[in-house]
């Protein structure tokens, strides 16, 4: 009787250690049912245990069962989950990680973040920022010059950012009236939405 009292005062995570293969005997409507699986997690608030069972010969990887801890009448630790995985030939292989690769990913992420920040103009209206974002998505080479949007270095869109405010600013860059019309169409489409 003392063991039962001690068990009930311990947290579920101590009674049912995570990543442990256990056999649980359940009392469901006066019938005993034995189930086996790896303890995935426990929840003190709902007084539940989550059991994970590996499945073979199916497209599903595992079966998850949520059990009310109050219906568990007996428990037996079979082995640690790592031993079960090795037994089934399902060793978890972690990828090789090099410091150089991690630092390179960090540099790329910082560069992308700084580039994203350069696309935000605090002086522009929300409508202007919306037009800028649409043009950036469509043309890829868009920048701010004050409150004006410069597209491909050749077309300027001035506030209030309508198609009438789009002007061709460079004459020798290879862009023509067709490019200007395309930018005007993008501005019109963004203004409509």
User: For residue range 55-102, what is the model confidence (pLDDT) as tens digits?
Assistant: 888 777 788 999 999 999 999 998 764 444 444 545 445 567 788 888
User: 13-38: per-residue pLDDT in tens?
Assistant: 889 988 889 999 999 888 899 999 99
189: pLDDT strictly greater than 90? no
Q: What is the pLDDT of residue 110?
A: 93
Q: What is the pLDDT of residue 174?
A: 62
Q: What is the pLDDT of residue 158?
A: 93
The region that residue 136 occupies, defined by phi over 0 for left and psi between -120 and 50 for alpha, beta otherwise, is: alpha
Q: What is the pLDDT of residue 193?
A: 66
**Dihedral sign from CA coordinates of 66, 68, 74, 75:** positive
Residue 115: which pLDDT band, with cuts at 50, 70 and 90? confident
Predicted TM-score (pTM) of this structure:
0.46
């Amino acid at each position: 009787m003392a063991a039962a009292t001690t068990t009930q005062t311990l947290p579920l995570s101590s009674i049912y250690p995570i990543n442990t293969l256990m056999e649980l005997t359940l009392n469901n409507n006066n019938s005993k049912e034995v189930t086996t699986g790896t303890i995935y997690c426990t929840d003190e608030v709902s007084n539940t245990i989550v059991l994970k069972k590996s499945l073979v010969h199916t497209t599903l990887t595992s079966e998850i069962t949520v059990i009310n801890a109050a219906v568990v009448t007996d428990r037996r630790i079979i082995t640690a989950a790592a031993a079960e995985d090795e037994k089934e030939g399902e060793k978890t292989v972690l990828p090789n990680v090099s410091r150089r690769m991690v630092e390179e990913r960090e540099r790329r992420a910082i560069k992308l973040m700084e580039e994203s920040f350069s696309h935000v103009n605090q002086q522009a209206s929300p409508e202007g920022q919306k037009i800028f974002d649409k043009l950036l998505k469509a043309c890829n080479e868009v920048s701010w010059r004050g409150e004006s949007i410069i597209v491909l270095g050749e077309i300027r869109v001035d506030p209030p950012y309508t198609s009438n405010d789009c002007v061709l600013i460079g004459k020798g860059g290879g862009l023509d009236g067709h490019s200007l019309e395309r930018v005007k169409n993008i501005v019109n489409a963004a203004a409509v939405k």
